[in-house]
Amino acid sequence: MKRSKKSTIFSVLFMGLGQIFNKEIFKGIMFAIIEIVTILNFTYFIRSITGLITLGVKGQYFVDGVVKGDHSIFLMIEGLIAIAILTLVILVYIFNILDAKRVGEEIEKGVKSLGTKEFIKYVWDKYFPHIMITPAFMFTIFFIVLPIVFTVAVAFTNYSSPNHLPPRNLVDWVGFQNFKDIINLKIWNNTFLHVGLWTIIFAVVTTTCNYFVGLMLALLTNSKGIKLKKVFRTIFILPYAIPAFISLLIMRLAFSGPGPVNNMLASIGLEKIPFFTDPFMAKIMVLIICVWLGAPYFMALMSGVLTNIDMSLYEASEIDGATKWQQFSKITLPLVLFQTMPLLIMSFAYNFNNFAMIYLLTDGNPVNGSFKYAGDTDILISWIYKMTKDQNQYHMASVITIILFIFVAGISAFSFSKTKAFKEEDMM
Amino acid sequence: MNTKTIKNKRVNLSDLIQKIIIYAILVLISIVILTPIFWIVSSSFNSGTSLFSSSLIPKNPTLIHYKELFTETDFPKWYVNTLKIATINMIISVIITTLSAYSFSRFKFKGRKQGLMAMMILQMFPGFLAMTAIFILLSKLGLINSHWGLILVYAGGQIPYNTWLCKGYFDGIPRSLDEAAKIDGASNMTIFIKIILPLARPIITLVALTNFMGPWFDFIFPQIILKSADKKTLAMGLFEWVQKQQNTQFTRFAAGAILVAIPITLLFVYLQKHIVEGLSSGATKG
């Protein structure tokens, strides 16, 4: 039998055996250690994955102060971690077989096998990008991918208060039941539709207003013959520069019931205005404050774009007798729109999930009785947050998260596929 | 008077009116922007403690609230905590992100395109929505109520977006520079440190800055991960003052907010050109 075939078979039988057969002792031992550790932990993998499938058989209880029984959610996460690790091991296993085959073939051709030192240098050169990506990869797997997979998995369980809340109770897999509920149960679909609609209005209005107010600010500070341009520009950038959570809390207090704005109204004999307690008023306030906060970003952005527009375009149009408005709508606007389109879409996706804005300003209030766990100004993401943090409705929170994620990712992927970067990427 | 001068005068007059209108708008907007800021600054000098008693111009200006922050509350501790978390997060994030961006930008390997695509999608996911999973993961690692837990979450969460941002910038650095260095015998690591990093300074500044500032703003993850009072960060502490005792701690909040906002705002205004340029180049170039 050929050497390459033999070493391949050895590596299939036991990781690293083929490498040792090829006299690559160091590499072989490394592979072998991985397999030995995996086998020693065999029961761990079996137990974790069974746990993920059953989600426990009995809720937790105390016997003489010692916890007994199962915690479904811990079982779920442990199962997912075990699967992640197992996947990595299987990838290494496949790699080990391919490697044994390749080295075997090289030896047949008469290429000398590498010593340990040369091997390390070889790996460092050949797998440089892989090694450099490893930390980012591990972080992404454990702190982003795993939590997302968990969130998706929860959407298919009944993990919620009051009857399915660990540690006392168990959680069960329920298939697509939650997705059916959100369509069929009146209280859920009513809330979802209303909150969803307001989320879209909120995102569209704030993005458009921010954009055009920003453009207006940029045009004003750029207009000819204005003095103190720098001072005005610095003032206008302030709302973007001050930490948003501070300015939002300031706004929340300023317009609150006993706050200074109402105080001032009272002192000049006017009635107090229910800024954040009347549903309609609260929505308007949210939109106004969002523009206060968001327009400066676009101003800063567009100041750059405006100064790059070729002045001769304006001079030429002036000779042809164009009015100021014509200059704006036929020259300035198209050029600015063209350059900032991707950012406009990004900004829409951002506002769609502008959690801090709602949470800090109104906390979704005023409460609406016909909604399930949501208030009038809640957007989808703040509703999800409430369901998770305050109401323990993890199952529905996960369902909405999935819907939200698909929507926003769809928009972003669409806008991204239009960019130059993506098209260039295709050619590589 | 001939017709020419009349026309000129009319133009001047309309120009003047236009200018007055523009100035009026500019001043008006400035007032709208500055009033809330002025109010919070003056509140911090107000002698009372509650929201009710705060007036736009303080009657008996006092520095007592600033003094209290340092003598009666954990505020200084929070400041140190936040500074520590922000600095460590910045260092770890910049190292991890630039290394992976360099690999994606300069090397061809299996799974490269899928990796880029995956990161593109992952950055759309608001990390805190998976807080249940993150909480359990950290408690498995024994990192609940630990600053390291928070740092790991921050450093992990920023990877997809910032890798994209850096990769886009690195792509713009001519490859001929690497190739020339390679002919001279430079290793991959040397090329990265001696050629790419110095040329990519603007984008690295941006990534460092956003990662440094993140912990100053974030009030969500600290609430999930940190438990004891001496571990809190500034955003979390200030938020709790407003949330729990809205009316009694108000002036203290105002003073604290100002001490947080001043350094961050100055840093931001000073570096704004960098930030805006970086954001727009990252978004349009990919």
* Predicted local distance difference test score (pLDDT) of residue A349: 84
Same-domain check for residues A227 and A171: no
Same-domain check for residues A307 and A419: yes
CB B213 within 8 Å of CB B154: no
Q: Can you tell me whether residue A384 is helix, strand or coil?
A: helix
* Predicted local distance difference test score (pLDDT) of residue A347: 86
Closest alpha carbon to B45 in B35, B59, B33, B32: B59
* Predicted local distance difference test score (pLDDT) of residue A345: 81
* Predicted local distance difference test score (pLDDT) of residue B286: 39
Same-domain check for residues A28 and A13: yes
Q: Which tens digit of pLDDT belongs to each residue from B212-232? A: 988 988 888 999 999 888 899
* pLDDT bucket at B51, cuts 50 / 70 / 90: low
Q: Tell me the C-alpha distance between A318 and A334, whole Å.
A: 18
End-of-domain residue from the set A148, A175, A202: A175
Dihedral sign (CA B32, B33, B35, B36)? positive
Report helix angle A394-417 to A333-352, nearest 10.
160
DSSP secondary-structure letter at B33? H
Q: Can you tell me whether residue A317 is helix, strand or coil?
A: helix
* pLDDT bucket at B169, cuts 50 / 70 / 90: confident
Whether B137 has its CB under 8 Å from any CB of chain A: the answer is yes
Q: Tell me the C-alpha distance between A239 and A220, whole Å.
A: 17
Q: What's phi and psi for A164, nearest 5 deg?
A: -130, 50
CB A199 within 8 Å of CB A352: yes
Is residue B283 over pLDDT 60?
A: no
Q: Tell me the C-alpha distance between A379 and A195, whole Å.
A: 6
Kindly state the tokens that stand for B150.
């928070």
Q: Do B137 and A225 touch (CB under 8 A)?
A: no
Is residue B42 over pLDDT 50?
A: yes
Q: Which domain holds residue A231?
A: 180-427
Same-domain check for residues A138 and A227: no
Cis peptide before A162 (omega within 30 of 0): yes
Q: Do B136 and A135 touch (CB under 8 A)?
A: no
CB B285 within 8 Å of CB A420: yes
Cis peptide before A366 (omega within 30 of 0): yes
Kindly state the tokens that stand for A53.
């499938």
User: Tokens 């080990």 correspond to what residue?
Assistant: A96
End-of-domain residue from the set A175, A204, A226: A175
Chain B residue numbers touching A240 (CB-CB < 8 A):
268, 272
Q: What's phi and psi for A87, nearest 5 deg?
A: -60, -45
Whether B108 has its CB under 8 Å from any CB of chain A: the answer is yes
Whether A253 has its CB under 8 Å from any CB of chain B: the answer is yes
- Strands A61-63, A66-68: pairing is antiparallel
Q: In the predicted model, what is the mean pLDDT of residues B60-74? A: 85
Q: List the single best residue of B129, B165, B220, B223 to mutate versus A (max A Cβ within 10 A).
A: B129
Q: Do A301 and B238 touch (CB under 8 A)?
A: no
Q: Do A147 and B137 touch (CB under 8 A)?
A: yes
- Residue B171 belongs to what H/E stretch? helix B159-171
From chain A residues 58-117, the ones with a CB under 8 A of any chain B CB are 73-74, 77-78, 81
Same-domain check for residues A193 and A87: no
Percent of chain B with pLDDT over 90: 28
Q: Tell me the C-alpha distance between B235 and A161, whole Å.
A: 30
Residue in A259, A342, A425 nearest the CB of B283: A342
Same-domain check for residues A392 and A248: yes
* Predicted local distance difference test score (pLDDT) of residue B56: 65
E-strand ranges in A247-380 read none
Beta bridge partners of A63: A66
Chain A residue numbers touching B220 (CB-CB < 8 A):
355
Q: What is the CA radius of gyration of chain A?
A: 30
Q: Do A422 and B286 touch (CB under 8 A)?
A: yes
* Predicted local distance difference test score (pLDDT) of residue B11: 65
Q: Do B269 and A234 touch (CB under 8 A)?
A: yes
* Predicted local distance difference test score (pLDDT) of residue A421: 53
Distance from CA of B71 to the nearest CA of A (A): 22
Distance from CA of A1 to the nearest CA of B (A): 31
Cis peptide before A135 (omega within 30 of 0): no
Same-domain check for residues A159 and A199: no
CB A78 within 8 Å of CB A41: no
Dihedral sign (CA A144, A150, A152, A154)? negative
Residue of A nearest to B172 (CA): A421
Which of A211-250 are b and which e, b meaning 16 or more Cβ less than 10 Å from the residue's Cβ? bebbbbbbbbbbeeeeeeeeebbebbbbbbbbbbbbbbbb
**CATH number for the domain harbouring residue A230:** 1.10.3720.10
Q: Do B129 and A388 touch (CB under 8 A)?
A: yes
Is residue B58 over pLDDT 80?
A: no
In angstroms, the Cα distances linking B60 to A116, B40, B250 are: 78, 15, 17
Chain A residue numbers touching B130 (CB-CB < 8 A):
147-148, 150-151
Q: Tell me the C-alpha distance between B268 and A64, whole Å.
A: 57
Whether A246 has its CB under 8 Å from any CB of chain B: the answer is yes
Closest alpha carbon to A386 in A205, A195, A206, A218: A195
Q: Do A136 and B217 touch (CB under 8 A)?
A: no
Residue of A nearest to B246 (CA): A253
Q: Can you tell me whether residue B227 is helix, strand or coil?
A: coil
- The CA-based diameter of chain A, rounded to the nearest angstrom, is 102
* pLDDT bucket at B153, cuts 50 / 70 / 90: very high
Measure CA B2 to chain center.
61
Residue in B107, B239, B247 nearest the CB of A245: B239
Count of the separate structural domains present in chain A: 2
As assigned by CATH, the class of the B74-285 domain is: mainly alpha
Q: Can you tell me whether residue A65 is helix, strand or coil?
A: coil
Chain B residue numbers touching A384 (CB-CB < 8 A):
129
Answer with the residue of higher pLDDT: B205 or B92: B92
Q: Tell me the C-alpha distance between A259 and A272, whole Å.
A: 10
Q: Tell me the C-alpha distance between A396 and A378, whole Å.
A: 16
Q: Can you tell me whether residue A164 is helix, strand or coil?
A: strand
Same-domain check for residues A208 and A146: no
CB B121 within 8 Å of CB A409: yes
Kindly state the tokens that stand for B23.
């100035």
* Predicted local distance difference test score (pLDDT) of residue B62: 82
- Residue A68 belongs to what H/E stretch? strand A66-68
CB B233 within 8 Å of CB B78: yes
Dihedral sign (CA A38, A39, A41, A46)? positive
Q: Do A139 and B156 touch (CB under 8 A)?
A: yes
Residue in B107, B133, B219 nearest the CB of A147: B133
Same-domain check for residues A158 and A301: no
In angstroms, the Cα distances linking B270 to A233, A241, B260, B274, B275 are: 13, 10, 16, 9, 10
Kindly state the tokens that stand for B159.
């990877």
Which of B75-103 are b and which e, b meaning 16 or more Cβ less than 10 Å from the residue's Cβ? beebbebbbebbebbbebbbebbbbbbbb
Q: Do A342 and B216 touch (CB under 8 A)?
A: no
Q: Which tens digit of pLDDT belongs to each residue from A4-20? A: 888 889 889 999 888 88
Is residue B54 over pLDDT 70?
A: no
Kindly state the tokens that stand for A378.
């809640």
Whether B199 has its CB under 8 Å from any CB of chain A: the answer is no
* Predicted local distance difference test score (pLDDT) of residue B7: 54
Same-domain check for residues A106 and A192: no
Closest alpha carbon to A192 in A204, A183, A202, A180: A183
Which of A107-121, B71-85, B197-211 has the lowest average pLDDT? A107-121
Kindly state the tokens that stand for B161.
């977006």
* pLDDT bucket at B159, cuts 50 / 70 / 90: very high
* Predicted local distance difference test score (pLDDT) of residue B53: 59
From chain A residues 367-426, the ones with a CB under 8 A of any chain B CB are 381, 384-385, 388-389, 394, 397, 401, 405, 408-409, 412-413, 416, 419-422, 425
Domain boundaries, chain B: 3-65, 74-285
Q: In the predicted model, what is the mean pLDDT of residues B9-17? A: 75
* Predicted local distance difference test score (pLDDT) of residue A428: 39
In angstroms, the Cα distances linking B125 to A393, A398, B151, B219 are: 20, 13, 19, 18
Residue in A264, A355, A405 nearest the CB of B125: A405
What phi-psi label fits residue A364: left (phi over 0), alpha (psi between -120 and 50 degrees) or beta?
left
Q: Do B246 and A349 touch (CB under 8 A)?
A: no
Is residue B275 over pLDDT 90?
A: no
Low-confidence ranges of chain A (pLDDT < 50): 426-428
Q: Tell me the C-alpha distance between A309 and A287, whole Å.
A: 31
Is residue B285 over pLDDT 50?
A: no
Same-domain check for residues A269 and A153: no
Whether A339 has its CB under 8 Å from any CB of chain B: the answer is yes
